[in-house]
């Protein structure tokens, strides 16, 4: 049966529209009501916000595991589309349960998204996702801090939903009006309706306690795989070890190992259930040693 190009393009348009507003793997609130707020997505002159999410905040439909956050979502109450002149997202982990009083959180934050001209659209009541340029290593036993900054936009901005947690300091914003960089100005108990996608860290399993003579990165097994594969490596001395996963065009899509590891031989499982079929590369970094191998995901 032949399908006309017009019909095929129509199917593709529908698919693209649906995937733009996909449901996150894990989220904190999914309700039809809540407090509407223009911060930070619908302030024409720009806005910076910091939000703290307690350990275990992302509980729906099941608690989020530790792992790499690859995408963050927000739930608009009023849809729209706009282009930001500068848009950044930073993330950090802390044992704090509230933001500091009288100023910005100044602990370590990692830039996970940075664009000088970023287009964002959203529909009322549906989660809108932003794919991170750099996956963030998330520990679900700690509080997650998310800082969003935009320096001005053109278009119909997005108003998102919050739930107010009275008596808590979970959100901070700047003086208004103001321009980038924004000065701290206020804090409150607003908690955005937020979701995340997480590639779980399965864990490092020791294979042998014998001290190897050299650094070795072995070929993953099975290969090709669907969707879980094992990566085995050896290090002759204690080192901070990182294994990064890259797609075919060099984007980092996973980090199954990022920890101090004693000398020995280890195996780590990588779950690619959230990735598309294709060729990927994995790189072992341990001190001055670096090695890369290729693997194929076939679904």
| CATH number for the domain that contains residue 217 | 2.60.40.1930
Backbone angles phi, psi at 234, to 5 degrees: -130, 140
pLDDT tens track, the chain, 299 positions = 444 434 333 333 333 333 345 789 999 997 777 788 888 999 998 999 999 999 989 999 888 887 789 899 999 988 899 999 999 999 999 999 999 999 999 999 999 999 999 999 999 889 999 999 988 888 888 899 999 999 999 988 899 999 988 777 788 888 776 789 999 999 998 899 999 998 766 678 888 768 899 999 999 999 999 988 999 999 999 888 999 999 999 988 888 888 888 888 999 999 888 789 999 999 999 999 999 999 999 99
Residue 10 lies in a domain: no
Domain count, the chain: 2
* Inside any domain, residue 8: no
* Judgement on whether residues 154 and 207 belong to the same structural domain of the protein: no
One domain for residues 176 and 228: no
Which residue range(s) make up the domain with 293? 201-297
- Shared-domain flag, residues 169 and 26: yes
Same domain, 293 and 168: no
Q: State whether 69 and 176 are in the same domain.
A: yes
Residues 106 and 137 in one domain: yes
**Final residue of a domain: which of 170, 199, 228?**
199
- SS3 state at 269: strand
State which of 199, 231, 248 marks the end of a domain: 199
Whether residue 65 is found in the same domain as residue 90 = yes
Q: How far apart are CA 35 and CA 89, in angstroms?
A: 22
Q: Is residue 5 part of a domain?
A: no
> Residue with structure tokens 């996956």?
135
Domain assignment present for 86: yes
Predicted pLDDT at 145: 96
Look at residue 285 and tell me if it is in a domain. Answer: yes
Of 129, 164, 199, which residue is a domain's last?
199
Cα 143 to Cα 93: distance, rounded to the nearest angstrom: 6
Q: What is the DSSP letter of 139?
A: -
List beta partners, residue 294.
Answer: 281
121 and 214 share one domain: no
């Amino acid at each position: 049966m032949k399908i006309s190009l017009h019909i095929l393009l129509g199917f593709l348009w529908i698919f693209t529209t649906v995937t733009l507003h996909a449901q996150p793997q894990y989220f904190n609130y999914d309700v039809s009501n809540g407090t509407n707020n223009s911060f930070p997505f619908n302030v024409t002159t720009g806005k910076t916000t910091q939000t703290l999410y307690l350990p275990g905040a992302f509980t729906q439909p099941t608690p989020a595991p530790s792992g790499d956050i690859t995408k963050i979502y927000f739930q608009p109450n009023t849809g729209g589309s706009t282009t930001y002149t500068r848009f950044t997202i930073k993330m950090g982990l802390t044992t704090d349960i509230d933001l500091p009083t009288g100023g910005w959180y100044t602990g370590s934050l990692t830039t996970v998204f940075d664009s000088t001209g970023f287009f964002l659209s959203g529909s009322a009541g549906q989660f809108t996702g932003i794919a991170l340029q750099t996956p963030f290593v998330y520990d679900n036993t700690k509080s997650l801090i998310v800082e969003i900054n935009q320096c001005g936009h053109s278009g119909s901005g997005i108003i998102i939903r919050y739930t107010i947690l009275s008596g808590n300091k979970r959100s901070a914003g700047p003086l208004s009006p103001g321009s980038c960089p924004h000065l701290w100005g206020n804090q409150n108990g607003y908690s955005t309706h937020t979701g995340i996608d997480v590639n779980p860290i399965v864990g490092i399993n020791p294979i042998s306690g014998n001290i190897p003579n050299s650094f070795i990165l072995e070929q993953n097994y099975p290969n090709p795989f669907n969707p879980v594969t094992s990566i085995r490596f050896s290090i002759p001395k204690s080192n901070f070890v990182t294994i990064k996963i890259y797609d075919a065009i060099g984007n980092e899509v996973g980090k199954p190992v990022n920890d101090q590891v004693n000398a020995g031989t280890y195996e780590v499982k990588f779950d690619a259930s959230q990735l598309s079929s294709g060729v990927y590369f994995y790189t072992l970094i341990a001190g001055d040693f670096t090695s890369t191998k290729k693997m194929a995901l076939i679904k």
